[in-house]
């Protein structure tokens, strides 16, 4: 049930818990969850399938324009469709993670996905997570949260997730990959990862998802002017 017109922006680095927190928060509020990282990932998957170099902006945009990307909300979280194929698992493969920051660095690619992201959030009642939601995509979001956690904790979470999916990965490799992605995301010229001036920072190190969701719900009720963001769904 969609009860409000408000948008909640959740940003932060890889492994800070954005997607899990955003999904449960959206469920609690009856809002739509939009995981914008999934958009960059699905495009990266298609770039790889087509043998296009992720560093070539013009080719990446051509792939983006030709691909039909759909985000379908469901009880287990969002499903991501690429030309009708469910690629929700494929976009989480380590090879996609390795290349996605390269795809996400191009201004042309970001402009293209910006339009798509704003269309997805146009009706409000949205929890959107990513890197530049509070700063670029939804600068007028009623509530902005910036999640962080130590690189070590983020690597441990990611390693657990990958091992559950059957990947043989070492802690050291995952930590290196997290750090590399942090650098690329934070240092790129266009829409780098940074907290909006009016974002509320939450360090999730040592906290479980439910505790973080409760904290955000607390901020939501504490902030005035959120009449549309009904919580009694």
Site residues (CB under 6 A) for ligand DC?
Answer: 14, 36-37, 40-41, 100-101, 104, 130-133, 181, 185
Residue 222: CB minimum distance to ligand DC, A: 26
- How many Å apart are CA 226 and CA 173, to the nearest integer? 43
Q: Smaller CB distance to ligand DC: residue 3 or 175?
A: 175
Residue 221: CB minimum distance to ligand DC, A: 27
Q: Smaller CB distance to ligand DC: residue 31 or 40?
A: 40
Measured CA distances, 87 to 20, 114, 163, 184, 192 (Å): 18, 21, 19, 25, 26
Residue 155: CB minimum distance to ligand DC, A: 13
Least Cα distance to 125 among 111, 138, 112 occurs for 138
Residue 107: CB minimum distance to ligand DC, A: 12
Q: Smaller CB distance to ligand DC: residue 181 or 207?
A: 181
DSSP characters over 158-172 = HHHHHHHTT----HH
- C-beta atoms surrounding 183 within 10 Å: 12
Q: Smaller CB distance to ligand DC: residue 153 or 185?
A: 185
Q: Smaller CB distance to ligand DC: residue 29 or 100?
A: 100
Residue 166: CB minimum distance to ligand DC, A: 19
- How many Å apart are CA 178 and CA 32, to the nearest integer? 28
């Amino acid at each position: 049930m969609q009860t409000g017109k408000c948008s909640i922006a959740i940003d932060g680095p890889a492994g800070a818990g954005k997607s899990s927190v955003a999904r449960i928060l959206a469920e609690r509020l009856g809002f739509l969850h939009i995981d914008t990282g999934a958009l960059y990932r699905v495009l990266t998957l298609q770039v790889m399938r087509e043998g296009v170099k992720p560093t070539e902006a013009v080719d990446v945009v051509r792939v983006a324009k030709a691909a039909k990307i759909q985000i379908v909300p469901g009880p287990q979280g969002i499903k991501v469709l690429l030309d009708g194929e469910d690629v929700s698992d494929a976009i989480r493969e380590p090879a996609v993670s390795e290349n996605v920051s390269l795809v996400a660095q191009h201004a042309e690619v970001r402009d293209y996905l910006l339009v798509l992201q704003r269309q997805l959030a146009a009706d409000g009642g949205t929890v959107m997570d990513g890197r530049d939601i509070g700063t670029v995509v939804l600068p007028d979001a009623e509530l902005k949260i910036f999640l962080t956690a130590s690189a070590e904790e983020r690597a441990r979470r990611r390693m657990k997730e990958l091992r559950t999916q059957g990947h043989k990965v070492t802690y050291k490799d995952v930590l290196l990959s997290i750090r590399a992605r942090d650098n690329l995301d934070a240092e790129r010229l266009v829409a780098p990862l940074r907290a909006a001036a009016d974002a509320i920072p939450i360090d999730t190190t040592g906290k479980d998802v439910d505790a973080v969701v409760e904290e955000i719900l607390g901020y939501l009720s504490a902030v005035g002017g959120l009449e549309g963001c009904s919580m009694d769904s």
